[in-house]
Amino acid sequence: MNRRFFIIATLLTLPSVAAAQRTRTQSDRRTEMFDKDSSRQTPPAVLRVRDIEDQSPIKLLIDKRKDLKLTDAQLSQLKDSEGKLKDKNAPLLKAVDSLVRELRYGMGSPSEDSRARARNARIGLMTTLGDIRTNYDASAKDALATFEPDQQSKATELLDKQKQEAEKFLQERVGSGDRRGGERP
């Protein structure tokens, strides 16, 4: 009796389970209302201050201290340099934060005034990022001066790779903006 009941219950529920898996709900389907309007695309990907701080060459050298075979004195000097660099870049990083907020606000807004502010914010952001990069390059140059020749070559290789990745990252995050529905500055 129990076996017959199980077979009948299986035969009755199996088609309904299969049908439930096969059908799509209205929310799963794409609608033209959201697909056609490319002018209202999302603002650029978020650029965070932490992302800029992570591009610090001094931080990279400290992280790669074993690969570079740094002495305790060199490591201590790098840590001091890192503190000075953070202090020097602090106002610039605050400016980056506010400019990114302004850029994101303006890119999502339909008004011409907001888009103009976004263009100006992008120009200011690129200038500020350039100033930060200049500080990073100067600190890396000072740090490399204290290294042995074999440490310098390895560190230069690491720093060049980091710089290329940072440029690519910033191009993806800030870029020209026209591929996301914005306007070129």
| pLDDT class of 93 with cuts at 50, 70, 90 | very high
Give 108's DSSP letter: T
Q: What is the pLDDT of residue 23?
A: 57
Q: Which one, of 138, 127, 137, 135, lies nearest residue 170 by Cα?
A: 127
Digit-coded pLDDT (tens) for 21-44: 655 555 555 555 444 444 444 444
Percent of the chain with pLDDT over 70: 76
Give the residue among 50, 69, 72, 46 at the shortest CA–CA distance from 59: 50
Helices (H), the chain: 2-22, 32-35, 49-53, 57-63, 65-68, 72-107, 112-145, 149-173
Q: Dump pLDDT digits (tens) for 137-183.
A: 999 999 999 999 999 999 999 999 999 999 999 888 877 544 444 44
62-83 pLDDT tens trace: 999 999 999 999 999 999 999 9
At 19 the pLDDT is: 66
Chain-centroid distance of CA 83 in Å reads 23
Q: Residue 48 pLDDT > 60, yes or no?
A: yes
> Distance between the two ends of the chain, CA-based, in angstroms?
78
Give yes or no for residue 1 having a pLDDT over 90. Answer: no
The total of other beta-carbon atoms located within 10 Å of residue 85's CB is 23
In the chain, where are the structural domains located?
46-176
> Under a CB-based contact definition with an 8 Å cutoff, are residues 74 and 154 in contact?
no
pLDDT (0 to 100) of residue 182: 42
Residue 14, pLDDT > 90, answer no
Alpha carbon distances (Å) from 27 to 18, 24, 37, 158? 20, 8, 19, 48
Long-range contacts from 98-102, C-beta under 8 angstroms, 24+ separation: 99/124, 99/125, 99/128, 100/46, 100/47, 100/48, 100/125
Choose among 150, 130, 164, 131: nearest CA to 60.
164
- 135: buried, middle or exposed (CB in 10 Å: 19+, 13-18, 0-12)? middle
CB 62, CB 78: distance < 8 Å: yes
